[in-house]
Amino acid sequence: MDYLQGLNPEQRAAVEQTEGPVMIIAGAGSGKTRVITYRVAHLIRKGVDSFNILVLTFTNKAAREMRERITHVVGTEAKNIWMGTFHSVFAKILRVEAEKIGYPSNFTIYDTDDSKSVLRAVLKEMNLDDKLYNVNFVLNRISASKNNLISWQEYNKNEQIQADDFSSGRGQMGKIYEMYATRCYRAGAMDFDDLLYKTNELLKLHPDVLNKYQHKFKYLMVDEYQDTNFSQYLIVKKLAAVNENLCVVGDDAQSIYAFRGANIQNILNFEKDYPDLKVFKLEQNYRSTQNIVNVANSIIRNNKEQLKKNVFSEKEAGDKIKVMRAFSDNEEGKIVAEAIMQDRSSKGLKWGAFAILYRTNAQSRSMEEALRKLGIPYKIYGGLSFYQRKEIKDLIAYFRLTFNPNDEEALKRVINYPKRGIGDTSVDKIIVAADQHGITPWEVIVEPGKYLEGKISGAVGTFATMIQSFQVLARTKSAYESALYIAQHSGLLKDLYEDKSVEGLNRYENIQELLNGIKEFSEREDIEEKGLDIFMQDVALLTNDDNDKNKDADTVSLMTIHSSKGLEFPQVYVVGLEENLFPSQMSLNSRSDLEEERRLFYVAVTRAESKLHISYATSRFKFGTLISCEPSRFLDEIDPKFLELDYTARPTTNSNASFDDDRKAWSRDKQPDTFSKPKPASQAPVKTTAMLAKAHVPSANFKPSDTSNLQVGMEVEHERFGFGKVISLEGNKPDIKATIFFKEIGQKQLLLKFAKLYIIQ
């Protein structure tokens, strides 16, 4: 029981409460993973069979980390636990039970690109406008329907749904959904949403299967329960119905995935489903300093829908949170990059200690440019993953076709790659023949003489024979041997090798890296099944955290706040705290949407361990136009005693400024009629953020003047700093420096040849 000694009283109580329904509300940095892993280990130590424990997570990384920790406590018994993401666990069950709902056990799992390809084919066949029926919109609509367990039949019968579709001019959505589902079924394929949708269907239509898994999984634990959707909620509820030994762990304050279908009500209303529920609150934050925790608390207390908790930290108070104001998004990037450079130098930190978090991917541009100019190494997370590269998808399509020849998307992808004389026209003929005879394209290809005419028959027959040879080999050889054979004999490896361009070399090396990964998979000792089909399933079920192999590189991390959830960094920069950006403009239509944006800000703040910076710009380019921005309302919600206003334009001592007052001040006319003689800098009044909230917008007649005859006392306009008066001139041509007092920002010294001043008088 020594593993329990390191737990605080509330953590230990949660670990030892093994029976009945339990909810663990885990604040940010409160040791949630430790509690889950020790609770599972404690169950096994008490005599629970590890085969009877199911642990559901949202990332493979979380599952791996938990299993490793459990292994340290209970040894190899940890291998027997059913542990993984919702999709991976239920894909495993569907492999065993799929035939009961009409699918082959070797069904293909379609990724987003595959699904979009099917939908494009459907839209083309239906002769629909792909602008009105945008493929992303259509896929999201179908995904939302599946996550709410609405079949295409129910979709077409629902009067409200039909009315919504027709009112938006998309009256064919139901038919598209039907054809998409039919195509996937015919191809023996499930998309990601189907893995949950079809599991619900399986458990509903086959009580014997439900009973089997209800008695198998006697203890269930669900991590990140606040992120579950209706489909996941229903599966968990059904599986736990017999024993009710269900433990859910999560934090309503970190529920940020409503756009994916997550329903915060699942955790808020959990007690209604289980009146005998025991609740444990993990409120001590072990990650962040007191100031950071206090800022997070002051933000989230503004949400009405929440489970109350009092998160605290016993670490040092730490630095106040710096709020940095920039005149533009480019200057914001410059300020952030310079601050990172300075802190790294002065504190001896690695680049990997820093993270820049933003609301939208588009914000990375200004950050990247600033980091590059200073030579700071960085990595953007959430970009194109290794397994989304074309050459990798091409080879995996061959693998998919080997195990499921009815996979139409894989077939279309490789039937003429490398080129073998089967062009688009020939592929269309194959698909038409399949539709006419009510069979799959593969059945046409296997007997081309029966369904096709001319030269196409011979080329198609040769292709079919090749795939059949792959099928025979894959039944007896290891994953690596099968993969290498397919790469070589498909012609793909040769085609890439013969491309001597830099891009061709990179693609060839990527294939070699994939084969290396399969070889490593084949030699793993912690798994029993090592076939190529199992490797493909693992690849299909990868979550975003698994795609990057260079996680330990010493680089500054750039990512959206959504991507940062579950991570932590010594120093964090949260950028773009402006109205209509964060909170986003789309979130201002309802309280629930605004509260999710606030939870997103809470997540961003709680990623920081020792130092947190927040920045905003007073102007930003949007669709090629420079627009004025105002500070985010979220800044006003932070208790000012925890803030330090760090404005590079000039020093400030007023840390109690109100951002709301700033916005009101800027609603007044800011252009001066006259200028009074400025006080010396030491006597100049310190301005609040009200006077600095917006960037200057140049006058309509603004045009840089010839400044060769500029004199002290002249009034000028600068395109960024606004209106000012020349105080002094020094130096000789062409390097004359002008000291100018600008009404909005104070005194600045400018080199005239670069200043671009408009002389007013």
Predicted confidence (pLDDT) per residue in 261-271, tens digit: 889 999 999 99
The domain tally of the chain equals: 5
Are residue 17 and residue 148 in the same domain, yes or no? Answer: no
The CATH number assigned to the domain holding 570 equals 3.40.50.300
Evaluate if residue 670 carries a pLDDT over 50: no
Are residue 433 and residue 508 in the same domain, yes or no? Answer: yes
Measured between alpha carbons, how far is 263 from 256 in angstroms, rounded to an integer? 9
Classify the C-alpha dihedral 565-571-576-582 as positive or negative: positive
Report whether 576 belongs to an annotated binding site: no
CB 536 within 8 A of CB 482: no
Q: What is the pLDDT of residue 500?
A: 75
Are residue 113 and residue 180 in the same domain, yes or no? Answer: yes
Report whether 32 belongs to an annotated binding site: yes
Please indicate, yes or no, if residue 650 is contained in any of the structural domains.
no
Active site residue 223: yes
How confident is the model over 417-442, as pLDDT tens digits?
999 989 989 998 999 899 898 899 99
How confident is the model over 234-286, as pLDDT tens digits?
999 999 999 999 999 999 999 999 888 889 999 999 999 999 999 999 999 99
Are residue 498 and residue 417 in the same domain, yes or no? Answer: yes
Are residue 337 and residue 478 in the same domain, yes or no? Answer: no
CA 364 distance to own-chain centroid: 14
Classify the C-alpha dihedral 356-361-365-368 as positive or negative: positive
Beta-carbon contacts of 421 under 8 Å, excluding residues fewer than 6 positions away, are: 455, 456, 459
Please indicate, yes or no, if residue 395 is contained in any of the structural domains.
yes
Alpha helices in 254-327 (DSSP H): 265-268, 270-273, 290-300
Please indicate, yes or no, if residue 651 is contained in any of the structural domains.
no
User: Could you say which DSSP state residue 135 is in?
Assistant: H
Average pLDDT of every residue of the chain: 86
Active site residue 523: no
Task: Among 622, 645, 668, give the residue marking a domain's end.
Answer: 645
Report whether 713 belongs to an annotated binding site: no
Please indicate, yes or no, if residue 674 is contained in any of the structural domains.
no
Beta-carbon contacts of 625 under 8 Å, excluding residues fewer than 6 positions away, are: none
Measured between alpha carbons, how far is 219 from 41 in angstroms, rounded to an integer? 12
Of 22-31, 85-94, 450-459, the least confident: 450-459
Of 32-36, 626-630, 666-670, 698-702, the least confident: 666-670
Beta-carbon contacts of 204 under 8 Å, excluding residues fewer than 6 positions away, are: 210
Measured between alpha carbons, how far is 264 from 305 in angstroms, rounded to an integer? 9
Report whether 30 belongs to an annotated binding site: yes
Which residue segment(s) compose the domain that 53 sits in? 9-99+198-282
Active site residue 33: yes
Mean pLDDT value of segment 708-717: 88
Which of 146, 281, 287, 607 does the annotation list as catalytic? 607
Are residue 442 and residue 591 in the same domain, yes or no? Answer: no
Which of 223, 579, 609, 646 does the annotation list as catalytic? 223
Between helix 479-489 and helix 390-403 the angle, nearest 10°, is: 110
The CATH number assigned to the domain holding 124 equals 1.10.10
* Reported pTM: 0.73
Task: Among 489, 520, 542, give the residue marking a domain's end.
Answer: 542
Which of 85, 232, 254, 306 does the annotation list as catalytic? 254
Evaluate if residue 585 carries a pLDDT over 90: no
Evaluate if residue 680 carries a pLDDT over 60: no
Are residue 488 and residue 405 in the same domain, yes or no? Answer: yes
Report whether 739 belongs to an annotated binding site: no
Beta-carbon contacts of 577 under 8 Å, excluding residues fewer than 6 positions away, are: 614, 615, 616, 631, 632, 634, 635
Q: What is the pLDDT of residue 672?
A: 31
Report whether 33 belongs to an annotated binding site: yes
Which of 165, 224, 394, 579 does the annotation list as catalytic? 224
Beta strands in 337-400 (DSSP E): 354-358, 378-380
The CATH number assigned to the domain holding 404 equals 1.10.486.10
Active site residue 32: yes
Report whether 157 belongs to an annotated binding site: no
Please indicate, yes or no, if residue 588 is contained in any of the structural domains.
yes
Q: What is the pLDDT of residue 520?
A: 77
Which of 17, 33, 265, 648 does the annotation list as catalytic? 33
Are residue 391 and residue 374 in the same domain, yes or no? Answer: no
Please indicate, yes or no, if residue 443 is contained in any of the structural domains.
yes
Task: Among 542, 567, 595, give the residue marking a domain's end.
Answer: 542
Are residue 397 and residue 473 in the same domain, yes or no? Answer: yes
Q: What is the pLDDT of residue 663?
A: 45
Measured between alpha carbons, how far is 41 from 10 in angstroms, rounded to an integer? 17
Please indicate, yes or no, if residue 334 is contained in any of the structural domains.
yes
* DSSP letter string, 632-668: -HHHHTS-GGGEEE--TTS----TT--HHHHHHHTTS
Phi, psi of 556 (to 5 degrees): -70, 135
* DSSP letter string, 387-425: GGSHHHHHHHHHHHHHH-TT-HHHHHHHTTSS--S--HH
Please indicate, yes or no, if residue 482 is contained in any of the structural domains.
yes
Which of 11, 32, 172, 717 does the annotation list as catalytic? 32
Are residue 74 and residue 210 in the same domain, yes or no? Answer: yes
Are residue 114 and residue 227 in the same domain, yes or no? Answer: no
Most distant CA atoms of the chain, gap in Å: 95
Q: How confident is the model at residue 665 (pLDDT cuts 50, 70, 90)?
A: very low
Are residue 396 and residue 516 in the same domain, yes or no? Answer: yes
